[in-house]
Each structure stands twice: as C-alpha cells, then as structure tokens.
C-alpha cells in the first residue's frame, strides 16, 4: 500500500487527561473543542491555513486561555482527523495512506484548507496523491472507495466518491494491466467488489456497463457473487438470519446490531431490487436457476411489483434451463394455504406463452381425427387454450421484444417435462385447488408433450391425495390427458386404475385396441369399439344420477375384468389383443410364402362377406375369420385389405 509523508518536524503534541496541546515556548491562545477533547493551540499556524477557523474567530472574538472555546460538533473524521490537520499546520510529519486519506480530505474540506487559504494547502496535496497514486492501484482504490461510506454526504459534495467509482470502473474495464488472481468462475474483481456496500456496488456496476468494455456474462457473474455474499438465508416465518449489513452508512448511526427484523428485511429488499435492476439484457448473462432464487427471495422479502415482474419475464425467457427444484417457490402468502407459490409459476408460464406465440409456427401441424368423440381429451391438432394463451390476442404485441425469443421444439419438450415434474410435486399438496392445477397443466402447448405419461402421473397423484373428489371433478381433471399419447406401460396402469372415471378407462382401452389392431394390419378392426364396450357407453346416455352411480360400479367391474384378461365373450383385453396381433403377424408371414394363383372368384365373394360381417363382431371373431382364409389364392383377396389397412393406420396415427 502506497503512502505519503507531509511535513518534516517531529511530533510535539502531548495529552493531559482530556486536554491536548503542543509543546512550545509560546503560550497557546486558541481553544478548540472537538468531541470530548479540548485542544489548546496557537492562532497563527491554524488560522493561516483554515478558512473556517478564521471566520469563527472573527465572529466570537476569542482570545487566549481566558477566551471563548470554539466548538466543532460533528467534525468529519473525529479527533484523529483534526489531530492530523493540526499537525500539518504546525509542519509536523503526517503519514497519509489509503486508510486515512478520506477522513483527512473531508476534514480539510470542512476546515477550508484549500488553495484559497494558503498555497500548497492540505486539500490540494491530498487530491494530487489520490489521483497520481492511489486511484491507479486496485487495492488502494477499493480501500479509498470503501472508506467514503463513513462520510458519504461530504464525500459526495467534494466529488471524492464519484472519482473513486470512475477509477474502479476504469480498472475493471481495462484488466490487461492487472493480474487475474482469481481461479473461480467469477471474474477476478467480483470478490473484492462484493465487499462494498450496495450503493457503491450499484454505482460501480452502472459505470462498468456504461463503458461497454465488459461482457454482460461477466457482469452477471459479478451479480451472482454479490448476491451470494449478502442475500440472507430467510426462514419460512420471515425471520432474516444474518448480521452483516451491506449498506453504506453502517445502518444509519451504527446501530445495525440493534436493528429490528423489519428494518433488516427492508434493507435486504432494497439490496434485492438493486441487483434486479443491474441484470444485463443479454439472455445468458445469468442462469435461470439464479433468477428463480432471486424470485424466491423477492417473495420472502415482499419486493416491489416491478422487480418481481422483471424476474418473471427473465425466467420465462430461459425457462427451459430450469429444474423442478428451482420452480418450487415457497408460498408465504396469508391468503393461500398451498405449500408452493403456484401463482408465480402461472405468471412465468403466461410470459412463456407470449414468447412461444411470437415465435414462427412449426412447419408441420398435427391433423385432428374426424372420428374423435366431442368430449374426448384426445385432440391431436391442438390443446385447450388457457388463460395465458387467450391473453396473447390483446396484449401480446405490447410486450417487450426480448420476451419473443424463438422457442425451439427441443426447448418446448424440456419445458413440458419441467411443468409435468412441477405438477407432480404440487399435486401432493392436499390444499392444491383443482383450477390452479389445470391452469398450469394447460398453459403449455401440446407440442411440448410428445407423450402424456407425465400428465397421467399428475392425475394419478392428485386423485390419490384428493380421494374425496366428486365424479364431475374427476372427469374434469382427466380431460387434460390425451389417451393417444400414453405409452404401453401407462395404458396398462390406467386400465386397472380404480381412481379413474369409467369413460377414461374406456378411452384408454379403445386406443390400446386401435394401436394393437393397427400394428397387426387390421384396418377395420380399429374403426369401431367392440359390442360389449359400446353397450357400456350407450348405457350412460340415460338414467338418474343414482342409477348412473350403480351402473358405474357394475360397468367398472366388467371393464376391470376386460383389462385383466377375463373376457365375457369378446377377447378384448390388453393381453388378448397382443396375442391376436402376434397371431395375425404370423399368418401374414405364412401367406407371403405361398404361391400366387388366379381364379377363385367365389372364394373372394365369400371372404368379402365374411369381412363385412366381421366389422360388427368382436375382436376374437374377426381374428378367427382371418384364420379361416382359404389356402388357395389368398393374396388376391388380401390385396383388398392391406392398402386399406395402411390408409387407416396413417389416418389414425
């Protein structure tokens, strides 16, 4: 650390209890009270260099030892600073360094020790030493800047703080002359700057960003380092843990240790809002995980709506980078009894919907199957518009262009998995309302979910926790599932899930049947439901509620028997369909090995009649009709079926 010595005379000051004087043969004629210390000095050396003392002496007419005492209340730097100024006036050697330059400079400004009083006065010498030496060295510049917080108003008035901030920002912007002494992921200067108060840190970051010489990712790393240093650990009841206060002025009087919890929370809320205002505009400047941590802190500290909205927008901008644990934001609202803040996630998904809506449409759109049931959740071409999607039409154009960053298909899929994982966690909450769960489930487009196994887990988890749900609520919950997108494992589980409504079980079995028939090449087999299942569905069209409940119990028993393989006349179970599909595949391989013969028109007509009759039969009867194909000339007859099978397969899938 650099230092400078002023004056050449030895130190002749001495103390006698609370009185401090200078050892000299000339009697003292000036008394100055600084704090609790009384100085007995001489007029000539002090008044010649201090304009303030000249004015005070002229006003009071103070004289020798019997005269009035000049009081200097609230003297900047205290007794030590005045002692150094007095020694400078006497020519006694004074050592100046980065540790005491600020209090000396403030004391010199307060006493009026400028060039107007005397040439080569203390203020000018301190300014020259600061500019030529201290502000050119990283450690010294930081030390000087950090010490300005003790005399913040006066340092602002004399421009000392601004000079230090500009000097530190210039050193950061041109690090070529400075060694990179940090091996961490943060920039070399982040750890040192993180020790400053929040106001000084904010001013440095603003100055650094204004230079344009520092990459925004580097600024983001510095923000993360500062947040890790100062943002506290906050318990769920709102009690802030941590005594360090990163605020200039040492807590307004140095009583930071006695500050109330409310005052500490207020200070940290201001800190959070400062950090949010400094987040660079570049998309990858900070990670999504860091943004969500700030959002959690914003909820706990009750940050401003502006800061919270900015965090929500930035999280939605890079939502695909988040994890399920990042989205689990604790709920501290007195209105909501849920464990996690679902409204915050809903706001994020609303912003994400705006971003996705502004992106160019995908090149290939899925077609809607014409034979889907009107109430079926299986909608291949799109999904039910949520509130966020509906809002795009009137306020999407007014959003900032940065929110309209294009969303790739891979990013959409990651967001879909993220939302499903979040819903599985919140579905375990007994206080989770169904409306909020459905709103979040419908807030992502269908293209984000290539399969609905995740949504099925959400529904299954919610039904297990909320066993008291009504039949209508269960049906409403299950409408989010697209049975076409369930895997074989999920279909097998759903077919035997006693918590699902009867209609959902029917749809699961139907699509499993259609899938197995399509794999086997049976085109018309997937066109209709078997007779036993159609009878179950038709029975639901009439009757009172009590009769419906009784019929539900009987029908569910029959469906469970079908799902487990105990078929009441129709071999329409999942396992039966798989065995039938395997049997048809084997038959087709055998038919391809036979020779191609002409003729046999009567057999063709007989086979056609059998196929028409088989459309109204059960699956097992149709499979037996396939097995009864005449051995002679089969290819000509089957040629009427294979193209049709391929066409229906394409239409259905």
Alpha helices in 540-640 (DSSP H): 545-564, 574-593, 601-614, 619-627, 634-638
CATH number, domain with residue 105: 3.30.710.10
Among 171, 180, 98, 100, smallest CA distance to 136 is for 171
**pLDDT number for residue 284:** 86
**pLDDT number for residue 283:** 86
Half-sphere exposure of 227 (CA within 13 A, CB side): 26
- 494 burial (CB, 10 Å; 0-12 / 13-18 / 19+) is buried
Reduced to 3 states, what is the DSSP secondary structure of residue 234?
strand
549 contacts: CB under 8 Å, gap ≥ 6: 471
**pLDDT number for residue 426:** 95
Overall number of domains in the chain: 1
Determine the Cα–Cα distance for residues 184 and 164; give it in Å rounded to an integer.
26
In a domain, 96, yes or no: yes
CB atoms under 10 Å from CB of 167, counted, come to 23
**pLDDT single digits (tens) 609-623:** 444 444 333 334 443
- What the block records as the tokens of 599 is 């003729």
Determine the Cα–Cα distance for residues 292 and 344; give it in Å rounded to an integer.
10
Residues of the chain with confidence (pLDDT) below 70: 61-67, 175-185, 233-259, 333-336, 359-405, 521-653
In a domain, 103, yes or no: yes
In a domain, 95, yes or no: yes
Q: Taking the mean position of all CA atoms in its chain, how far away is CA 182?
A: 28
Determine the Cα–Cα distance for residues 46 and 100; give it in Å rounded to an integer.
21
Strands 30-34 and 70-71: parallel
**pLDDT number for residue 376:** 41
In a domain, 48, yes or no: yes
Determine the Cα–Cα distance for residues 537 and 219; give it in Å rounded to an integer.
63
- 276 burial (CB, 10 Å; 0-12 / 13-18 / 19+) is buried
Determine the Cα–Cα distance for residues 576 and 567; give it in Å rounded to an integer.
9
Determine the Cα–Cα distance for residues 130 and 3; give it in Å rounded to an integer.
10
The helix (run of H) or strand (run of E) holding residue 435 is: helix 434-441
567 contacts: CB under 8 Å, gap ≥ 6: 561, 573, 576, 620
In a domain, 44, yes or no: yes
Among 527, 531, 507, 530, smallest CA distance to 518 is for 527
In a domain, 337, yes or no: no
In a domain, 35, yes or no: yes
3-state secondary structure 67-96: CCCEECCCCCCHHHHHHHHHHHHHCECEEE
3-state secondary structure 298-360: HHHHCCCHHHHHHHHHHHHHCHHHCCHHHHCCECCCCCCCCCECHHHHHHHHHHHHHHHHHCC
Residue 7 is part of which domain span? 1-166
Reduced to 3 states, what is the DSSP secondary structure of residue 4?
strand
DSSP secondary-structure letter at 3?
E
- 288-303 exposure pattern, b = at least 16 Cβ within 10 A, e = fewer: bbbbbbbbbbbbbbeb
What is the residue-wise DSSP string for 157-211? Answer: HTTHHHHHHHHHHHHHH-GGGS-----SSS-TTHHHHTTS-HHHHHHHHHHHHHH
Among 638, 537, 553, smallest CA distance to 591 is for 638
In a domain, 367, yes or no: no
């Amino acid at each position: 650390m650099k230092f400078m010595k002023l004056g050449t005379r030895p130190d002749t000051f001495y103390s006698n209890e609370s009185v401090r004087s200078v050892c000299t043969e000339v009697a003292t004629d000036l008394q100055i009270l600084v704090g609790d210390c009384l100085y007995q000095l001489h007029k000539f050396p002090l008044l010649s260099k201090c304009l303030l003392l000249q004015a005070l002496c002229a006003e009071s007419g103070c004289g020798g030892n019997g005269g009035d005492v000049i009081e200097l209340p609230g003297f900047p730097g205290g007794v030590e600073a005045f002692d150094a100024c007095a020694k400078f006036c006497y020519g006694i050697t004074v050592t100046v360094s980065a540790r005491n330059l600020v209090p000396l400079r403030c004391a010199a400004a307060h006493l009026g020790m400028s060039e107007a009083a005397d040439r080569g006065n203390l203020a000018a010498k301190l300014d020259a030493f600061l500019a030529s030496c201290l502000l050119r060295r990283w450690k010294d510049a930081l030390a000087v800047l950090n010490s300005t917080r003790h005399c913040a108003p006066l340092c602002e008035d004399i421009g000392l703080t601004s000079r230090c901030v500009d000097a530190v920002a210039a050193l950061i912007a041109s690090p070529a002359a400075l060694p990179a002494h940090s091996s961490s992921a943060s920039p070399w200067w982040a750890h040192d700057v993180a020790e400053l108060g929040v106001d000084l840190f904010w001013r440095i970051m603003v100055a650094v960003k204004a230079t344009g010489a520092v990459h925004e990712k580097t600024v983001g790393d510095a923000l993360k380092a500062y947040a890790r240093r100062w943002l506290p650990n906050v318990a769920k009841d709102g009690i802030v843990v941590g005594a360090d206060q990163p605020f200039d002025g040492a807590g307004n009087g140095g009583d930071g240790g006695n500050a109330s919890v409310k005052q500490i929370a207020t200070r940290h809320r201001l800190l959070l809002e400062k950090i949010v205002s400094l987040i660079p505009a570049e998309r990858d400047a900070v990670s999504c995980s860091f943004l969500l941590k700030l959002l959690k802190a914003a909820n706990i500290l009750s940050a401003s709506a502006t800061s919270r909205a900015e965090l929500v927008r930035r999280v939605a901008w890079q939502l695909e980078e988040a994890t399920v644990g990042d989205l689990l934001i604790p709920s501290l609202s007195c209105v909501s009894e849920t464990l996690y803040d679902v409204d915050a996630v809903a706001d994020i998904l609303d912003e994400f919907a705006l971003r996705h809506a502004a992106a160019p449409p995908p090149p290939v759109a899925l077609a809607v199957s014409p034979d889907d049931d009107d109430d079926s959740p299986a909608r291949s071409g799109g999904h039910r518009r949520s509130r966020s999607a509906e809002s795009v039409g009137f306020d999407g154009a007014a959003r900032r262009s940065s929110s309209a960053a294009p969303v790739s298909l891979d990013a959409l899929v990651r967001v879909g998995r993220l939302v499903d994982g979040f819903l599985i966690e919140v579905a375990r909450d007994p206080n989770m309302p169904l409306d909020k769960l459905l709103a979040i489930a419908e807030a992502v487009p269908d293209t984000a979910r290539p399969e609905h196994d995740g949504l099925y887990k959400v529904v299954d988890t919610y039904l297990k926790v909320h066993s008291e749900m009504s039949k209508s609520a269960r049906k409403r919950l299950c409408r989010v599932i697209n049975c076409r997108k369930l895997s074989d494992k999920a279909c097998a589980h759903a077919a035997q899930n006693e918590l699902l409504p009867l209609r959902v079980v029917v749809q699961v079995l139907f699509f499993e049947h259609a899938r197995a028939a399509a794999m086997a090449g049976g085109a018309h087999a997937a066109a209709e439901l078997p007779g036993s299942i159609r009878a179950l569905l038709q029975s639901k069209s009439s009757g009172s509620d009590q009769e419906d409940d009784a019929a539900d119990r009987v029908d569910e028993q029959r469906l469970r028997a079908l799902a487990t393989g105990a078929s009441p006349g129709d071999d329409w179970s999942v396992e039966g369909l798989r065995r039938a599909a395997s049997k048809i595949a084997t038959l087709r391989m055998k038919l391809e090995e036979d020779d191609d013969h002409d003729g046999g028109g009567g057999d063709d007509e007989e086979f056609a009649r059998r196929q028409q009759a088989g459309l109204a039969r059960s699956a097992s009867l149709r499979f037996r009709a396939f097995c009864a194909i005449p051995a002679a000339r089969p290819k000509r007859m089957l040629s009427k079926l294979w193209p049709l099978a391929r066409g229906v397969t394409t239409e259905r899938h």
